[in-house]
Structure 1
Amino acid sequence: MTPAARVQAAIDILDEVIAAARTQGAAADTIVARYFSTRRYAGSKDRRAVRDLLFAAIRRSGEVPVSGRAAMIGLAGDRPEVAALFNGAPHCPAPIRPEEPASPAAALPAWLSEKLLPVLGAEQLPALLARAPLDLRANRLKTTRADLLARLPEAVAAPHAPDAFRLPEGTRVEALAEWREGLFEVQDEGSQLLAEAVGAGPGQTVIDLCAGAGGKTLALAAAMANEGRLIACDVDRARLSRLAPRKARAGASMIEELLLDAGREDRALHSLAGRADAVLVDAPCSGSGTWRRNPEARWRLTPERLARLSAMQAHVLDLGAGLVRPGGRLVFAVCSLLPDEGADRLAAFLATRSGWTPEALPLGVPSGAGFMLTPERDGTDGFFVASLIRA
């Protein structure tokens, strides 16, 4: 592909990404993979260049662009070398006309800026969309971080979580023998810190209420030294089914999987009521703390969807609270920096529930009764996390 043809490819993919954002369709990564699966002539350099152009245009456009071409013209306004590639050659973008729309540069849609500016300040907004590092977690059931740092010459220790380390961006993790042996998992350092906040230990009964594919469940299993009872729950059968091969590779044999019926979760959880030493509620959320990895996700979020997510968080937080034994711990977390999903949601819970005491955590900065991790300050994905002790 010529450089100009790469620009046109990025425009074509952008059109699909924009349409998907408006209809809650496939994620940008999925669309990119699908696009190149039918274009075998594109080499690895072509795919990398197209992807870089695509995500640069996405990160630059706060509001949903009117078209892929408008998004790329906006990027071309910042990059003369891109503007020069609108040359009208075959399979290349037509020259830019003076009257054509160009997406304005902005970090966020206006309504989200109004919510996040008071929380983060303008200086932290760019980091929400910067490229994320490749974070990994050493699996304590099989190895140590020190051993992996010795085995992997390009690995460096991450600054906060005790098992966290990093590899260069673009490393083909699944090609590494250490990954196939289950010595480590791909996991953002912030997620690892959430698992640490649970304080799980050998012999305990711990519940991961919104386990998904089980990344934090595996971290909890390692903290528990594979001893005790660890129950991974979720309402999504497809996501939960991904845990089985992962726990086998990690050697985490004590994990139980419990599929819940959405809206009727208490039926499956009844026998666990008031019995757990610790419950992790990593609730479904907007994912605003993960925009570094999925920058087009900010185009998908609407005030209406945020309200629905907030109601869902209230529901699962109540469910989790009912599972904690007296003296046990409830950890509430969202990979979001929006107060609606974090500090405000927790405040609403505490206002209607007595007998819960927030405890200090050695991470992030205070945010209401919890704490907040941010990409700018902590180098992690954005998270709100709170730990509550039941009387």
Structure 2
Amino acid sequence: MTPSARLSAAIEVLTDLAARRRPAGDSLKDWGLSHRFAGSGDRAAIAGLIFDTLRRRASSAYVMGADEPRALVLGMLAVMRNLDLAAIERLADGSRFAPAPLSEDERTRLADPSLEKAAPWVKGDYSQWLDPHLNRTFGEERVEEGRALAARAPLDLRVNTLAATPEATLQDLAHLSPEPGRWSPLTMRILLDAEGKAPPLTSETAFVKGAVEVQDEGSQIAAILAAPIPGSQVLDLCAGAGGKTLELAALMDNKGQLYAHDSDIRRLKPIHERLQRAHVRNVQVRAPRGAADVLEDLEGRMDLVLVDAPCTGTGTWRRNPDAKWRVRPGALAERTADQAKILDDAARFVRPGGRIAYVTCSLLDDENGAQIRGFLERHGDFAVVPAVETVLALGSRGLELKAAALESPEGLLMTPRRTGTDGFFVSVLKRAA
């Protein structure tokens, strides 16, 4: 397919996306099934165009004065890919399979795609209703934080120390040009090409043999700051597919007992195969069984409870650009209610002197600091472990991370702009002995 044909395809998929209001991945899959002539390179390029458009939807609509799919894609070429008017005209020239030629209004707008007078939420490319929330967290820096969240994310891998060493894995994957992580000693980072196409990692021997897992460096850091101790008793209360469960097991060197639970048994489905591939032996999966309390025997026994709380996912917008336009105020209210309930439930499992590590992939104080403040009001026998102590789990890099992240009395917030990771909030709470 020509670049112009790919542009037309992106407009077609975005039109379907707008009409049917569903995840971008579903629309892309349907398009691929009905256009089997398109090769993998074409599909990757079209996906790149679509996700870049979603990343910069607000600013593209502002520049073009319209939010129809064609306008958004053309605007993205200017504000995201920095193409000038002549380059865009060559792509949209009305030839076979190409978009129709630019109108005079489109030409005028694309000749000067300035955002100088735009509102902060337009410049930062996020929903207008979120502006007060992001202002509460970042103040005047919210535009720069939003722009960092609108950039493409790299592919981060975590070395599984139960199966390999970072040095050996770097050598095994040298053909992918991985770079060591900035903060986590377990991270390898692979920068993607200009169209955002990732390598077929799951076919690599290192992945098949369990030497690496796909996991953002911020997520890796969150598990490290939780500081699970080999030989201890740990509960991963919201384990889901098991990403942090696997890391906790490796950090514990397969020693002690790690319990993995999730309130939705469907989310736990992938964990069993993943545990086997990762050579994990100290995990007991506790799936829900109707009204039964499958964790009752763990009350008051845990050294550490990890609460990887369900949240709005505002910190993952680089990887899920369509999700930031789907989140609604009602979803925030629902999530904060869930988080408070889960935190209260976590407290019943913590032994005297034990800890809760509360983690979200959110940037909003409602889901982060406010949750911790509310929890402390309800549970006076807990206190926040100061960040200066928490970061020591990262060794010499810890204090550098503390300086780079946004610190509050409740914990640390990592962001793409500050730490080069996805957005993650981490707070460690300790129960009085």
Question: Do Structure 1 and Structure 2 share a fold, with TM-score over 0.5?
Answer: yes
Indicate if the aligned counterparts of 2:136 and 2:365 stay in contact, CA closer than 8 A.
Answer: no
Residues 249-289 of structure 1 show CA distances to partners (whole Å, capped at 9, x for unaligned) of: 11102211122369x6x822222111111000010001100
- Tell me the residue number matched to 1:151: 172
Structure 1 residues 196 and 177: alpha-carbon distance in aligned structure 2, compared to 1, 3 A threshold: same
Q: Pick from 209, 223, 233 the counterpart of residue 205 of structure 1.
A: 233
The count of aligned residue pairs is 385
- Tell me the residue number matched to 1:308: 334
Structure 1 residues 3 and 336: alpha-carbon distance in aligned structure 2, compared to 1, 3 A threshold: same
C-alpha separation in 2, matches of 1:356 and 1:253: 31
**Which deviates the most, 35-44 or 190-199?**
35-44
Indicate if the aligned counterparts of 1:210 and 1:281 stay in contact, CA closer than 8 A.
Answer: yes
Q: Pick from 117, 128, 134 the counterpart of residue 116 of structure 1.
A: 134
Q: Pick from 232, 235, 249 the counterpart of residue 221 of structure 1.
A: 249
Give the residue type in structure 2 aligned to 1:73: L
Normalised to the residue count of structure 2, the TM-score between the two structures is 0.83
Structure 1 residues 32 and 119: alpha-carbon distance in aligned structure 2, compared to 1, 3 A threshold: same
Structure 1 residues 343 and 8: alpha-carbon distance in aligned structure 2, compared to 1, 3 A threshold: same
Task: Report how far residue 99 of structure 1 moved.
Answer: 6.3
C-alpha separation in 1, matches of 2:3 and 2:268: 42
Q: Pick from 184, 188, 192 the counterpart of residue 165 of structure 1.
A: 188
Task: Report how far residue 32 of structure 1 moved.
Answer: 1.8
Q: What RMSD in Å do the two structures reach over aligned CA positions? A: 2.3
Indicate if the aligned counterparts of 1:28 and 1:294 stay in contact, CA closer than 8 A.
Answer: no
Runs of 4+ in 1 over 6 A off after TM superposition: 99-104
Structure 1 residues 274 and 16: alpha-carbon distance in aligned structure 2, compared to 1, 3 A threshold: farther
Runs of at least 5 residues in structure 2 that lack an aligned partner in the other structure: 116-121, 193-197, 392-401
- Tell me the residue number matched to 1:16: 16
Normalised to the residue count of structure 1, the TM-score between the two structures is 0.91
- Tell me the residue number matched to 1:68: 69
Identity percentage over the alignment? 40
- Tell me the residue number matched to 1:39: 35
C-alpha separation in 1, matches of 2:29 and 2:52: 17
- Tell me the residue number matched to 2:416: 375
Indicate if the aligned counterparts of 1:209 and 1:280 stay in contact, CA closer than 8 A.
Answer: yes
**Which deviates the most, 344-353 or 253-262?**
253-262
C-alpha separation in 1, matches of 2:314 and 2:211: 30
Give the residue type in structure 1 aligned to 2:415: T
State the SS of the aligned residue for 1:130: coil
Task: Report how far residue 86 of structure 1 moved.
Answer: 2.9
Once the two structures are superposed, the pairs formed by residues 301-340 of structure 1 within 5 Å of their partners are 301-340=327-366
- Tell me the residue number matched to 1:258: 286
Task: Report how far residue 138 of structure 1 moved.
Answer: 0.9
C-alpha separation in 2, matches of 1:178 and 1:14: 36
Task: Report how far residue 19 of structure 1 moved.
Answer: 4.2
State the SS of the aligned residue for 1:371: strand
- Tell me the residue number matched to 2:94: 88
- Tell me the residue number matched to 2:195: none
Indicate if the aligned counterparts of 2:406 and 2:414 stay in contact, CA closer than 8 A.
Answer: yes
